[in-house]
Homo-oligomer: A and B are copies of this chain.
């Protein structure tokens, strides 16, 4: 293959894939895997294990799966156990309901592209109970994780309007699925900045600034809000959500509400309000705003990332558009049926009086209490260090501290051709085995430097990780002061 050009070369490859970036799985995590291998092969390092604090991957960090959930999933996978006395009746009841709604009684058959009706109905009931406002199961579209659901909504906007590219507003810092998908889909990214000095608050004046500026170059059509925030961990107040909905109404924007961390709210006085609830309760004319809200089995207290299950609830969508949206989804047949069973079970947990109620509640609270503890621990510890400030993790699973790097460190980074935060994160990785994601992967105000760490490591280990981090950080700051 020397004399002739390959059919697929860097010159003839989809240029958007070249442009696209996804830092959560970027060069740092790739290097961390290499280091893991080097350690296995006996390499000598100043540490004995890699700590992958870069991904919101709960079970990988030692969180134990929920017994009831896994019982239901094992039963639908291997229905012979429906006769076994080892499984509680409530798990069997859930499993039977799922199997009865599968074609041929097997989770090995395809489902409707939007998911099993029983799963969508159950999710709608869950949403109703959560919000106290009606939910229509036909607005619930099951998918292979929230990422999949988000992309399927984003791709609807691939259309020039008034001779301009469509634009989507995203918070900065943002979860890089958004920037990566917008790049891939050829949509304009409109950045609005969260205010770090006010605990990453979302200011309407900033939304106005961003949208007005964007109008010069594109047609703003949608706004992404991540609540609780990823990577920033803030929880929006009800009043703030009302303002955002009114803003979206005035600007005729579609709202994409990324609400996958809705169960992860820790701070006193904070409470999760869904956009759907607030929008509905605002009444006319704001209850006509078009909205897609996203949820997942990967986060919350279940943390079942590997099952790839999520959904979108889609409100006020034009019926003809909805038909096209569903048609587009159908070419991919359906999402994992075990994932759908996971959604069904999570939205239909054991009730008071059922045999698994107590143990389920106990396991659930243990996970959430432990996350709450670590959320506070993270911010407190980072704030106790020199040259670091960190907002409170009110919700979600991350801390996103700011590094106040000395000029010498910034110079050293430049010499290596790296962003200062990337330089810092690589040093951290090579010296401690701790893998975090540099702030530049999420976006940050120019001249500021951050990193995102998960708070998922189990508590004793998390303490040790923070100690190792502090030790490294002190040395690093000293070296470059």
Contact = CB atoms under 8 A, between A and B. Distances in A.
Interface in A13-28: 13-18, 20-22, 25
Contact of A7 (B33, B147, B181, B252): B252
A245 interface: no
Given A20-B328, A57-B110, A336-B306, A4 B156 contact: no
A107 B321 contact: no
A22 B330 contact: yes
B13 A156 contact: yes
Contact of A337 (B307, B316, B317): B307
A440 B185 CA distance: 30
A8 B317 contact: yes
A77 interface: yes
A62 B307 CA distance: 25
A22 B158 CA distance: 20
A104 B338 contact: no
Interface stretch (A65-73, A129-137, A389-397, A401-409): A65-73
A284 to B, nearest CB: 10
A61 B15 CA distance: 43
A3 to B, nearest CB: 9
5 contacts: A144-B308, A151-B332, A306-B337, A336-B338, A336-B339
Given A4-B252, A12-B161, A308-B335, 20 more contacts: A1-B288, A7-B290, A8-B317, A13-B321, A14-B159, A21-B327, A25-B331, A25-B333, A52-B103, A59-B102, A62-B104, A70-B78, A74-B78, A102-B306, A145-B333, A147-B332, A151-B332, A180-B331, A305-B333, A306-B337
Given A254-B8, A339-B336, A147 B331 contact: yes
Contacts of A318: 6, 8-10
A334 interface: yes
Interface in A93-116: 102-104, 106-113
A236 interface: no
A1 B321 CA distance: 15
Given A55-B110, A108-B59, A290 B336 contact: no
A103 B15 contact: no
B328 A61 contact: no
A366 to B, nearest CB: 16
Q: How many copies of the chain does the oligomer comprise?
A: 2
Interface in A328-375: 328, 330-339
Interface of A: 1, 4-10, 12-18, 20-22, 25, 33, 52, 55, 57-63, 65, 70-71, 73-74, 77-78, 81, 102-104, 106-113, 144-145, 147-148, 151, 155-159, 161, 166, 176-177, 180-181, 184, 221-222, 252-254, 288, 290, 303-308, 316-318, 320-321, 324-325, 327-328, 330-339
B221 A12 contact: yes
* Residue among A4, A157, A177, A330 having the largest count of chain B Cβ atoms under 10 Å: A330
A417 to B, nearest CB: 18
A180 B328 CA distance: 8
A321 B108 contact: no
A9 B321 contact: yes
Contacts of A74: 74, 77-78, 81
A102 B74 CA distance: 18
